[in-house]
Amino acid sequence: MYDVKKIREDFPILQREVYKKPLVYLDNAATTQKPLCVLDAMREEYLNVNANVHRGVHYLSQQATDLHEAARETVRAFINARKIEEVVFTRGTTEAINLVAQTFCESQMKAGDEVLVTDMEHHSNIVPWQLQAKKMGIVVKHLPIDDKGCLVSCHDVATYITERTKLISIAHVSNVLGTINPVKDIIKLAHERGIPVLVDGAQSAPHMKIDVQDLDCDFLAFSGHKMYGPTGIGVLYGKEEWLEKLPPYQGGGEMIDKVSWEKTTFERLPFKFEAGTPDYVATHGLATAIKYMESLGMENIEAHEQELTRYCMEQMRTIPNMRLFGEAPHKDAVVSFLVGDIHHLDMGTLLDRLGIAVRTGHHCAHPLMDRLGVTGTVRASFALYNTKEEIDALVAGIRRVSAMF
Ligand code: PMP
């Protein structure tokens, strides 16, 4: 049985108070809290194992390397990648997308070639492509969304593809609308035309089982800190054939085979993309977080969060002048809203005074805000430890704030 009361005991921060009120933490799409097992694993590694990884002959270095490489295997199994060579550690989703944007555009694209994104992307899946557009003259095109916050149909996606489309890069789940995009269908359609697809999994990896072989995505990016792991660590999955084709991203130690003044050769995968000392304690922390989620069961986490989302949407609809953003039939763990003409910042600040942590503003998605015709929204986002009582507290809080205006 999914015992949320017991699960909450693993997250001591959830027991604290703010402004003498119990904390209701609903800002999980920004970052999640960390269970004790993750904190303990990282403390234990710094206390008893710490040494730089790879190439060290001494005991501690080998032990740290084993933990680091075991973490890679844990990630591989978590997303069902074929090989550990396909798992590249990065600082997060942002760095993973930048890595692909730079190396893919440089090696696979010419001026005038197109990358297709959507109107609901986070800036980290827009700006890296725009930087390449400026540098190389590639073109960034974007798929429109309808008023419910859904992508246009797959048939329409096809109409946005031209013979110059070289890559499609899309969010699996929108961080503002919660929309779960039909990435598997889009990947199939793209592959029929020989186009690879990058999936931004920042908001899906924490909430659902992802199988990269089943999806058949060419790249997948996600962040550790949004899935109960530490900050500063993330993953780029890439199909081996693509990673082999792409040039290195950054240069330095770890990523080379042999360096000379005449010619430098590079390490094999995945190290070719991992310049410098990796955050080997964070990789161990991430692996511990993955094992924690797996011990609860990804299906159980998904079912719990789906129920919270459904319940929240239902309760929100009972509030007068409520405007909900994102009413896709397939939606996950994110509820964005505005009430009447109350500014999102006012709503967020007053909810905070009641102990309720939500996010306000543009959520790093300016083009989406423009599409919605707003400057920002209030966003409540859920994690495996949230409860219906917390949603009741949110709804009561919104009613209370609304009555003040
Ligand atoms: N994509 C999406 C959909 C996100 O929600 C986020 C984080 N809000 C990112 C990318 C960027 O993740 P990070 O800041 O961890 O690199």
CATH of the domain at 70: 3.40.640.10
- The number of distinct structural domains making up the chain is 2
Report pTM: 0.98
- pLDDT of residue 280 exceeding 80, the answer is yes
* Residue 198 counted as domain residue: yes
Question: From start to end of 34-179, where are the E strands?
Answer: 87-90, 114-118, 139-143, 165-171
- pLDDT of residue 305 exceeding 90, the answer is yes
CA atoms within 13 A on the CB side of 349: 6
Domain termination site, one of 264, 294, 324: 294
pLDDT at residue 153, rounded to an integer: 76
Q: Which atom of ligand 1 is nearest to the CA of 172?
A: 3
Matching residue, tokens 């959830």: 14
255 falls in which pLDDT band (50, 70, 90)?
very high
Q: Of the residues 223, 226, 235, 366, which should be mutated to test ligand 1's pocket, given the most ligand atoms within 8 Å of the CB?
A: 223
* Residue 31 counted as domain residue: no
Q: How far is CA 350 from CA 14, 17, 28, 117, 342, in A?
A: 20, 16, 19, 35, 11
pLDDT at residue 137, rounded to an integer: 97
* Residue 35 counted as domain residue: no
- pLDDT of residue 154 exceeding 80, the answer is no
Q: Which amino acids are annotated catalytic?
A: 364
Ligand 1 proximity of 229 Cβ (cutoff 6 Å) = no
- Write the ipTM: 0.99
Burial of 180 (0-12, 13-18, 19+ CB in 10 A): buried
* Residue 32 counted as domain residue: no
Paired tokens of 292:
């924690």
Ligand 1 proximity of 118 Cβ (cutoff 6 Å) = no
How many angstroms from the chain centroid is the CA of residue 201?
5
- Looking at the structure, tell me whether residues 69 and 174 fall in a common domain: yes
Return the bridge partners of 221, or none: 200, 236
* Residue 33 counted as domain residue: no
- CA–CA dist 297, 120 (Å, integer): 29
> Which residue CA neighbors atom 6 of ligand 1 most closely?
202
- Cα angle, residue 329 at apex, residues 218 and 402 outer, rounded to 5°: 120
Ligand 1 proximity of 224 Cβ (cutoff 6 Å) = no
pLDDT at residue 152, rounded to an integer: 74
* Structural domain boundaries enclosing 126: 40-294
Q: Which helix (H) or strand (E) holds 303?
A: helix 298-316
In this predicted model, what pLDDT tens digit does every residue of 160-213 receive, in sequence order?
999 999 999 999 999 999 999 999 999 999 999 999 999 999 999 999 999 999
pLDDT at residue 70, rounded to an integer: 98
- Looking at the structure, tell me whether residues 285 and 309 fall in a common domain: no
Q: Which of 309, 346, 311, 350 is nearest to 177 (CA)?
A: 309
Distance 212 CA to ligand 1 centre (A): 19
* Residue 34 counted as domain residue: no
In this predicted model, what pLDDT tens digit does every residue of 210-224 receive, in sequence order?
999 999 999 999 999
- CA–CA dist 385, 25 (Å, integer): 9
Nearby residues of 331 by Cβ (< 8 Å), 6 or more positions away: 177, 178, 179, 180, 309, 313
- Looking at the structure, tell me whether residues 287 and 309 fall in a common domain: no
Ligand 1 proximity of 181 Cβ (cutoff 6 Å) = no
Q: How far is CA 39 from CA 13, 99, 191, 280, 287, in A?
A: 12, 29, 41, 14, 12
- Looking at the structure, tell me whether residues 131 and 259 fall in a common domain: yes
- Contact of 172 with 203, CB cutoff 8 Å: yes
Distance 233 CA to ligand 1 centre (A): 12
Residue 376's domain is classified under what CATH number? 3.90.1150.10
Ligand 1 proximity of 203 Cβ (cutoff 6 Å) = yes
- CA–CA dist 140, 133 (Å, integer): 7
Q: What is the mean pLDDT of residues 236-265?
A: 96
- Looking at the structure, tell me whether residues 238 and 344 fall in a common domain: no
Domain termination site, one of 240, 269, 294: 294
Ligand 1 proximity of 74 Cβ (cutoff 6 Å) = no
Distance 94 CA to ligand 1 centre (A): 6
Q: Of the residues 122, 227, 286, 363, which should be mutated to test ligand 1's pocket, given the most ligand atoms within 8 Å of the CB?
A: 122
Return the bridge partners of 325, or none: 336
- Looking at the structure, tell me whether residues 66 and 201 fall in a common domain: yes
Q: Of the residues 31, 124, 199, which should be mutated to test ligand 1's pocket, given the most ligand atoms within 8 Å of the CB?
A: 124
In this predicted model, what pLDDT tens digit does every residue of 32-74 receive, in sequence order?
999 999 999 999 999 999 999 998 899 999 999 999 999 999 9
- Looking at the structure, tell me whether residues 319 and 388 fall in a common domain: yes
pLDDT at residue 378, rounded to an integer: 98
- Looking at the structure, tell me whether residues 165 and 251 fall in a common domain: yes
Q: Which atom of ligand 1 is nearest to the CA of 364?
A: 8
- Contact of 11 with 39, CB cutoff 8 Å: no
Distance 321 CA to ligand 1 centre (A): 30
- Looking at the structure, tell me whether residues 271 and 214 fall in a common domain: yes
- pLDDT of residue 281 exceeding 80, the answer is yes
Return the bridge partners of 397, or none: none
Out of 124-138, 144-158, 171-185, 279-293, least confident range: 144-158
- Contact of 237 with 218, CB cutoff 8 Å: no
Crossing angle of the two packed helices 59-79 and 280-296, in degrees rounded to 10: 40
Ligand 1 proximity of 92 Cβ (cutoff 6 Å) = yes
Distance 314 CA to ligand 1 centre (A): 27
Average predicted confidence (pLDDT) for the chain: 97
- Contact of 26 with 305, CB cutoff 8 Å: no
What b/e sequence results for 365-400 when a residue is b if at least 16 CB atoms lie within 10 Å of its CB, and e otherwise? Answer: bebbbebbeeebbbbbbbbbbbbeebbebbbebbee
* Residue 55 counted as domain residue: yes
- Looking at the structure, tell me whether residues 289 and 342 fall in a common domain: no
Q: Which atom of ligand 1 is nearest to the CA of 173?
A: 3
- CA–CA dist 247, 99 (Å, integer): 10
Distance 377 CA to ligand 1 centre (A): 17
> Which residue CA neighbors atom 14 of ligand 1 most closely?
94
pLDDT at residue 405, rounded to an integer: 93
* Residue 386 counted as domain residue: yes
1 falls in which pLDDT band (50, 70, 90)?
confident
Domain termination site, one of 243, 270, 294: 294
Q: What is the mean pLDDT of residues 323-352?
A: 97
- Contact of 89 with 254, CB cutoff 8 Å: no
Q: Which atom of ligand 1 is nearest to the CA of 92?
A: 16
Q: What is the mean pLDDT of residues 372-394?
A: 98
- Looking at the structure, tell me whether residues 302 and 362 fall in a common domain: yes
- Looking at the structure, tell me whether residues 264 and 381 fall in a common domain: no
Per DSSP, the three-state class of 134 is: helix
